[in-house]
Structure 1
Amino acid sequence: MPKSYYITITFIILFSFKSYCQKKTLFAKPTTEIISIDGEVKEQAWNTVSSIATDFIMFEPDNGKPISKDKKTEVKVLYDNDAIYISAILHDNQPEKIQKEITNRDVFGVSDHFSVSINGFNDGQQDFRFFVSAANVQMDCLATEQTEDFSWDAIWQSKAVITDFGWIVEMKIPYAALRFSNGKEQIWGLNFMREIKRDVQKYTWNHVDTKIGSVITQAGTLEGIQNIKPPTRLFFIPYVSTYYQEDDFTSDRTLKAGLDIKYGINDSFTLDAILIPDFGQTKFDNAILNLEPFEQRLDENRPFFTEGTNLFNIGNIFYSRRIGGAPSTYPNVAADEEVTNYSSSVNLINAVKVSGRTEKGLGIGFLNAITEKTYATIENTTTEETRKEVIEPLTNYNVLVLDQRFNQNSSVSFVNTNTTRNGSFRDANVSALLFDLSTKANSYNLYGDLKYSTINSIEDYDGIKSSLNFAKTSGKYRYSFSGRYTSKEFDNNDLGINFYTNFYNLYSNLSYRILNPTKTFNTFRFQNEFNLVFDNTTGKLQEGLYKPTIKATTKRNHYFEIGLDIKPFEAYDFYEPRVDGRYLQLPRSIGEYVGIEFNRNNAFTFDITQSVTKYDQEGRVNYGIAVGPKYRMNDKFSLYLVVDYTIKKNDIGWVDFENSDIIFGKRDREILQNDLTGKYAINDKMALNLTARYYWSYSDIKDFYTLENNGQLSKNDSYNLNRNRNFNSWNLDFSYSWWFAPGSELSILYRNYAQEGSPNVEKRLNTNLKNVFDSNMTNILSVSVRYFIDYNVIKNKF
């Protein structure tokens, strides 16, 4: 063949490759026509749009494969002074098979989805993502390369309609739900995603290469938006709640009212404030029998502290449950006194937060909260006189975050948390400096931090915590290496949570993964973790771990995970003895686990995980099994049950102090947790939800030991106190919710709960159930109404 033929072919290949890799551009068209969000796309303005997003490319599992003609997808964008409008025509040659489970907001379920990701500054740093399911359920989040914050909820409109050729989505996203520069011409980062659930496939408009460890930087662009005048971002959310509560001894009626305010300070920043907060319908905490040397870490479920808090989570030194949590002190009592009333929490007076990101990539977050003075009641057992003592003074909490992002994928951050208590009570301050640097191609990453804590109390002390990490973040073979150091005095527990101090560790992770499906697997990953932890003072090994795992998804969308937990060296536990400088010698151990999740697209699905850990100590072994059947009866009704059961034979743990001795026990433990979740969606705005949990655990001590100075245990036949524990906990929430207008909700909740504990071990399940239901059960019925008011709507009416 002539030379010119090869030159032509080479040019075509290179040109195609360049076209395939370059960023796509879509042009929005202005409109003055009123666009009805009804899923019909009938307005004339849609017919005038010539710039159409099409030719979607598979994101997963077979990355890079073009979408088939029978799944053709076409997206258009209009805009006016209030919002952008998106229409998506999603063809499907089998429309009767489109998955469309109705779920609660921000719950994906078994549904097809369409989404738009918008970066108003086009800086590759943060996306505003809006999802619509084929059942017309909304999901939205703030996304960085590290996190997707689905607690963030915007006010926007959407409608999805199933047709005879597939389905249609219409969306209206007000500018108030976005952040962008105040320039006359807007250039936004933009990508669309389509998920076809039955085929377990996701497609994006602009190709996202999974070999690169970054998604946001691989978006296309949206141009054409000009001379818009965004409205004032000012929203009021008043609420009124009423509660009726009763138990075996008392009953109470409560009426509450308050206000949330959201104000757009400028194009970049939003102020959120709560006046007279009400968290009465917040999800219950999962109470457990905690025999560990550390407090139980609780999930944050209060909306103000979960919504849009991704900035405040940088550095991992902020634990919002400290605000309004347990008092920081316990009263001093004389020999003839006892505490008759001690509050388990402190009332929150108000809270405010400001957050956003400038056009130049500087994220700023500020949160401030104030809690009220709290007293305990103390009674003299002889005279029956009572007195009150402050257990938590008026307290101010604040968090400041500065996060400068640059080069689309790197950042330097400063975080400061401060707790100031009125009077002579303990104050605390923690500062953190962090950096996260990635190469332009997102192939390598260097990140680290330095944290410094200062405590002002009876004895002042300072501490540091630091880490340095390097990782290869792209390709089939990836690795990371880390080093960490924490001083003995580091303490961020006034507005954070930290259990382990006075150690340094070395960690590495080596992994292999497939980037495209094989004949057997859609995804496959083999990972090896190595971890060594040493005590700073003595140099003794606290942990030596090798953990290989395999995680894979089959072609039929079944997921499985297999792992080993190998600790080949004797180590030392410096926390279980509860005394500074003392330690417990730990035996070698080996554990394994296998987990399987069957295809969650099926109406009936099932997951199961089993685990066994064997210790190099006579008779000491742990067994665990968790089983989770889920049945989706139709697109509206589903039930999900999880039964988690653990046995610990000849477990070793702290029991008590006797004079200067530290007493340990050899014990058998059983832990049973049952969680039932039910959902009946009346429609996409109205649902009934059920959450029930029963937890039972006991600790049955067979022998007592004294901890020696060398970390070993010697038999103690003289200690004879009953230190056994038997604990039952029951919770049930049954609720009705109705989103009767954008951002506005009516919620009715029935809740009952009880806890029962005893030093007498009861190993019969039916007796434990009877005991907890015969205990003092608390019943609560509450009704709450929240109404979203847009200042612009009021202004236009008046």
Structure 2
Amino acid sequence: MRNLFLFLLLLTAVFGYSQKKTLQTTIRTSSILIDGKIDEEAWRSAAIAKDFIMFQPDNGKPIPENKRTEVKVLYDNDAIYIAATMYDNEPTKILREITKRDDFGTSDFFSVFINGYNDGQQDFQFYVSAADGQADCITTDISGEDYSWDAVWNSKAVITDFGWVAEIRIPYAALRFSGEKKQTWGLNFFREIRRDRQKFTWNLIDSKLGTFTQQSGILEGIENIKPPTRLFLMPYASFYLNANDDKKTTGIAKGGLDIKYGINDAFTLDAILIPDFGQTKFDDKILNLGPFEQQFNENRAFFTEGTDLFSKGNLLYSRRIGGAPIVYPTTTDDETIIDNPATVNLINALKVSGRTKGGLGVGILNAVTEKTNATIENNNTKETRQQEVQPLTNYNVLVLDQRFRKNSSVSFINTNVTRNGSYRDANVAALVWDLNTKKNTYNLSGNFKYSSINAIEDKTGYSTSLNFAETSGKYRYSFGGDLVTKDYDNNDLGINFETNYYSLYGNTNYRILNPTKHFNSFRVNYNLYTQFHKETGKIQGNNININVNLDTKKNHSVGFGTNIAPLQSYDFYEARTNNRYVILPQRYNAWMYISSNYNNKFAFDFNPYYAIFNEKNRNTFEISMGPRYRFNDKFSMSYNFYFERKNNNRGFVDSIDDDLNATTPETIVFANRKVITYSNSISGKYSISSRMNFDLLVRQYWSYAENHNYLSLQQDGTLTDFPTYTTNKNSSFYSWNVDLSYSWWFAPGSQVSVLYRNNAANFERQINKRFNRNVTNLLNNDALSHTFSISVKYFIDYNSIKRKF
């Protein structure tokens, strides 16, 4: 009888966890002050959401009684209110590192996930840390979490003698919901106890399923509210003081306006007038010896905020907008380029994005950049002339993304670049699908992309891929393939390196879903990949990869693996000439990483890598390591050192056209070289409060390629000695960057930013191997420039103004 009772109790618990919990809210009956005290009369009769369940690491385990969590929800005509009480039997051990917005740091946190349509497709997530910090994001199962999205809302967190409390007010302008009289919202609450690395949710998130947003509970009781007018104005003013390499100091004042307008309950218009991106993070430039351009991160807020729709199909590389000019100026022997802009100014930009209740997402992005000229001077007469290097250019992106059955989508994407005058125009269209079975156990994904270039010689091409995967359980697998034609080109508004190939790949992996005696998490992967040149069928790439990633019971992360290229392959890109290739030898490498628990004041990261090639004395060694130390909850520093050494590395350095009549092929010159790279980075932060922060970022970089002997590339892809080539093609690039910034969120959505920056970079053919001398020369020479800037941005909510007047 006792066994039967236990069985029924267990069955009831499992059945209860598998159902969607429902919380009934009511309208607030008295005023609420967001102060973290939760002592107003309105809270006393509110229903309680409790009985949280562990999400990670021991999925499905009930929260301990001494760490129980209780949440209440109220609403009025303007906002929804959340009061969360997080009990903790050891409140003095609650981690509470103070950080800037959207940085969780080492801190406990509580969050609320809201889906105003209750369609399991998109959550608006709001986080409050035990240090009274804020973070927010938009989340979908397909695109993941987008923390570039920022809303304006209020919160307060307070540490108590029984744990900690978070009180939140989220205005309806920060959410999306329909205009129905009775609202039914998707709802979940999330709590992380950082010192234990344990995460809990109110409604169970079953980790065996490949979905997160579809496992929310339900909020009922909200009635007779209307979606507000979502009109936000963000005027800004900024001042820049620059001291450059010619020792001149110049001051520049700027002003502008950003606008966010809710077209309806689903769609939002974002526009920037007179853009200012002067305070964006610097680029980590490197010595790029390869055949492809270096890809940079997007740091401009307009192009990172709420752009999950525009990432569909991976067709948008927004750094193209306002990037380098497309034409390099031409000069005669007696002319010198005295001014060639590195970037093109953005005139304005706007985007419209949102999703209907029926699951149709629409995204439109448009930007215009100005006509740009280089200045060229005649060495004899000193007269100057202007040459156009970038015409007036319009960039446009359209995305239509239809979601259905809560977990699948089909998307159409179109990108277009139109340049004024007789310049190259480009258009790319794509169909992208992500299909999941009803129980989220299997996935079929893929795409078809078509590019059309209008230039001196028009060309069209396409790219397509198909992938099938099992996405649930301990054992999972996937397999698929890609096909890209020679003339596929999306580089006017996207970025793509390799074309003219087809590939086949597969993966199988095993993971634990609950902790074991030794591990909190454990996963092993086995991957196969082979790429073939489309026209000749030659193997362009091949790889067998085995890797293991795990977290120990003390929350240290460890990973290790090996990559093997067992077959000789043919590289059609390094030669930089059509239909030419170089033979690559077999390669074997191994790597590992150790990342100690960041909860500790002192933590350390260590990542070594070693590769050996099937060529005499050819190998690569690299190591990245760095300590980090949290002095207290306000102040922390981290340092990272990176070193790489490539011995007998072989790569392209030059091409010589010996025959003007092109009756013989050009000579392609390679070098047998040693490549050394050093990088030192320091980052630090001091937070006076969660709304007032100092940040420091320093990066020193030096890389050189020393050529030992030159080689000639033969028609069969082999390399032979080329002793008659004597041109110095050594390369040495070093750079220095410092950013010291102060930010103060003096009101919701309003910020003062102060930045001091100095930077320098230099490229030389002569290699000075004295490390200290290189750094000293870089800091002392005329290339070091300084910038001091102040920017003030003020947030104006139309609804607040309307209520006042």
Q: Report how far residue 765 of structure 1 moved.
A: 1.0
Q: Which amino acid aligns with 1:132?
A: V
Structure 1, gaps ≥5 residues long: none
SS of equivalent to 1:214? coil
Q: Report how far residue 385 of structure 1 moved.
A: 3.1
After TM superposition, the structure 1 stretch with the greater mean CA deviation from structure 2, 535-544 or 769-778, is 769-778
Tell me, yes or no, if structure 1 residue 148 matches structure 2 residue 131.
no
User: Residue 396 of structure 1 corresponds to which residue in structure 2?
Assistant: 394
Tell me, yes or no, if structure 1 residue 738 matches structure 2 residue 736.
no
Residue 35 of structure 1: which of 25, 32, 37 is its match? Answer: 32
Q: Report how far residue 8 of structure 1 moved.
A: 7.5
RMSD: 1.2
User: Residue 574 of structure 2 corresponds to which residue in structure 1?
Assistant: 576
Tell me, yes or no, if structure 1 residue 344 matches structure 2 residue 351.
no
Q: Is the 8 A contact 1:373 1:390 kept in 2?
A: yes
CA deviations over 1:108-139 (Å, ceiling 9, x no partner): 11000101111111111111111110001101
Residue 789 of structure 1: which of 787, 790, 796 is its match? Answer: 796
Q: Distance in 2 between matches of 1:652 and 1:661?
A: 16
Residue 534 of structure 1: which of 503, 528, 532 is its match? Answer: 532
Tell me, yes or no, if structure 1 residue 287 matches structure 2 residue 293.
no
Q: Report how far residue 42 of structure 1 moved.
A: 1.1
Q: Is the 8 A contact 1:355 1:364 kept in 2?
A: yes
Q: Distance in 1 between matches of 2:603 and 2:193?
A: 19
Residue 238 of structure 2: which of 238, 241, 245 is its match? Answer: 241
Q: Report how far residue 14 of structure 1 moved.
A: 4.3
Q: Report how far residue 378 of structure 1 moved.
A: 2.4
User: Residue 434 of structure 1 corresponds to which residue in structure 2?
Assistant: 432
User: Residue 714 of structure 1 corresponds to which residue in structure 2?
Assistant: 720
SS of equivalent to 2:59? coil
Q: How does 1:83-482 map to 2 (within 5 A)?
A: 83-145=79-141, 146-249=143-246, 250-482=248-480
Q: Distance in 1 between matches of 2:29 and 2:336?
A: 73
Q: Distance in 1 between matches of 2:382 and 2:749?
A: 52
CA deviations over 1:200-229 (Å, ceiling 9, x no partner): 100000011111111111111111111102
1:425 to 1:116, Cα distance in 2 relative to 1, 3 A: same
Q: Report how far residue 12 of structure 1 moved.
A: 5.4
SS of equivalent to 1:314? helix
Q: Report how far residue 332 of structure 1 moved.
A: 3.2
Q: Report how far residue 283 of structure 1 moved.
A: 0.5
Matched positions, count: 794
CA deviations over 1:286-318 (Å, ceiling 9, x no partner): 111111111110100000000000110011000
Q: Distance in 1 between matches of 2:408 and 2:727?
A: 58
SS of equivalent to 2:443? strand
Q: Is the 8 A contact 2:95 2:107 kept in 1?
A: yes
User: Residue 772 of structure 1 corresponds to which residue in structure 2?
Assistant: 778
Q: Distance in 1 between matches of 2:547 and 2:650?
A: 27
Q: Distance in 2 between matches of 1:510 and 1:265?
A: 46
Q: Is the 8 A contact 1:756 1:771 kept in 2?
A: no
Residue 649 of structure 2: which of 644, 648, 651 is its match? Answer: 651
SS of equivalent to 1:232? coil
Tell me, yes or no, if structure 1 residue 678 matches structure 2 residue 684.
yes
SS of equivalent to 1:524? strand
Tell me, yes or no, if structure 1 residue 752 matches structure 2 residue 758.
yes
Q: Distance in 1 between matches of 2:784 and 2:3?
A: 83
CA deviations over 1:359-380 (Å, ceiling 9, x no partner): 1111111010000000112233
CA deviations over 1:653-697 (Å, ceiling 9, x no partner): 100112210000000011111111110001111011101100000
User: Residue 608 of structure 1 corresponds to which residue in structure 2?
Assistant: 606
1:6 to 1:695, Cα distance in 2 relative to 1, 3 A: closer
Q: Report how far residue 231 of structure 1 moved.
A: 2.3
SS of equivalent to 1:398? strand
Q: Distance in 2 between matches of 1:331 and 1:20?
A: 67
After TM superposition, the structure 1 stretch with the greater mean CA deviation from structure 2, 16-25 or 718-727, is 16-25
Q: How does 1:479-558 map to 2 (within 5 A)?
A: 479-558=477-556
Q: Report how far residue 7 of structure 1 moved.
A: 8.1
Q: Distance in 2 between matches of 1:666 and 1:92?
A: 62
SS of equivalent to 2:15? helix
Q: Which amino acid aligns with 1:162?
A: I
Q: Report how far residue 335 of structure 1 moved.
A: 4.1
Q: Is the 8 A contact 1:350 1:371 kept in 2?
A: yes
User: Residue 663 of structure 2 corresponds to which residue in structure 1?
Assistant: none
1:97 to 1:13, Cα distance in 2 relative to 1, 3 A: closer
Q: Distance in 1 between matches of 2:245 and 2:283?
A: 22
User: Residue 66 of structure 1 corresponds to which residue in structure 2?
Assistant: 62
Q: Report how far residue 245 of structure 1 moved.
A: 0.3
SS of equivalent to 2:310? helix
> Alignment identity in percent?
56
Q: Which amino acid aligns with 1:245?
A: N
Q: Distance in 2 between matches of 1:777 and 1:332?
A: 28
Q: Distance in 1 between matches of 2:679 and 2:312?
A: 32
1:6 to 1:733, Cα distance in 2 relative to 1, 3 A: closer
After TM superposition, the structure 1 stretch with the greater mean CA deviation from structure 2, 410-419 or 330-339, is 330-339
Q: Report how far residue 16 of structure 1 moved.
A: 3.9
Q: Report how far residue 794 of structure 1 moved.
A: 1.6
Q: Is the 8 A contact 1:122 1:189 kept in 2?
A: yes
Structure 2, gaps ≥5 residues long: 658-665
User: Residue 662 of structure 2 corresponds to which residue in structure 1?
Assistant: none
Q: Distance in 2 between matches of 1:656 and 1:690?
A: 40
